[in-house]
Amino acid sequence: MKKRLIVSIGFLLVGLFGCSTQDEETINKSEEPLKVVTTIAQIADAVENIGGEHVDVTSLMGPGVDPHLYNAVQGDIQTLDQADIIFYNGLHLEGQMGEIFEQMEQDKTTTPVSENIPESKLLSDPESPTITDPHVWFDISMWSYSVEAVRDDLINIDPDNEESYSQNAADYLAELEALDIYAKERFEEIPEESRVLVTAHDAFNYFGKAYGFEVVGLQGLSTESDYSVNDVQKIIDLLIDRNVKGVFVESSVSDRSINAVVEGAKEAGHDVSIGGELYSDAMGEAGTEEGTYAGMFKHNVDTIVEALK
């Protein structure tokens, strides 16, 4: 009798233990969101839209942060360590962090989202042709490759939710395409000769190529480089020559260089104003319209049109 009881309890315990382990595994597989870490918020926006409830996204670089100069802090290393997937832009945008990503690559999915963009579409730095321009998110047709890279990695690591990722990505890409059409229509309001975009650093080359602007950045592709008096004078001449009314500051770059252009133009008798602040390498505050990719892009389009038309 006693023996039978012990055996029964034993079975009962095995039953309970076995059952609860199995349940936990099932729950983990289907409901625990993937931990995704991105560098710039533009990538985080794509992950959030495609991943929805299946992802928990952390963007290391917030509003106003310059990715060229960004250095990982201790908390970042821990965040990256705990991630299931890491997405970064690549093409040396995240200058200081390249080595960290190379190390992380050995034990988890670590993807430069620019990797699928055809090489023929990439632009190089006119001053040093071996350097590729990393600011690919301002040409929607190019950024779509990065969005697809995010989608494909999420599906690879979590195939159970493939349908959801595919559908969300299709919706997101359709939203971006509508934005592309909106931009092209609005830019028609600017006289063709005045489609000149002067900014603090060269973040808008892909944008210029896509939408027909001549683009001049005072500081080159990276904010690490400086500018000369000669650079400022060349830009002032261009503004006068093309009758351009506005120049732009960037949310993540000092406005010192752009102010020098405005002052210099005034001295030369040409009235140029600061046409507003553009989002270049960083987006706006989370929770605001400009804190989303679409909202940031639209803000830039509207700001440029109002200043230059």
Residues that bind Zn ion (CB under 5 A): 203, 281
Q: Which residue, 153 or 250, is less far from Zn ion as judged by CB?
A: 250
**Closest approach of Zn ion to the CB of residue 74, in Å:** 25
Q: Which residues on adjacent β-strands are paired with residue 109?
A: 85
**Closest approach of Zn ion to the CB of residue 202, in Å:** 7
**Closest approach of Zn ion to the CB of residue 93, in Å:** 7
Q: Which residue, 281 or 290, is less far from Zn ion as judged by CB?
A: 281
Q: Which residue, 89 or 168, is less far from Zn ion as judged by CB?
A: 89
**Closest approach of Zn ion to the CB of residue 56, in Å:** 27
Q: Which residue, 60 or 190, is less far from Zn ion as judged by CB?
A: 60
Q: Closest residue (Cβ) to Zn ion?
A: 281
**Closest approach of Zn ion to the CB of residue 301, in Å:** 19
**Closest approach of Zn ion to the CB of residue 293, in Å:** 16
Q: Which residue, 154 or 203, is less far from Zn ion as judged by CB?
A: 203
Q: Which residue, 171 or 224, is less far from Zn ion as judged by CB?
A: 224
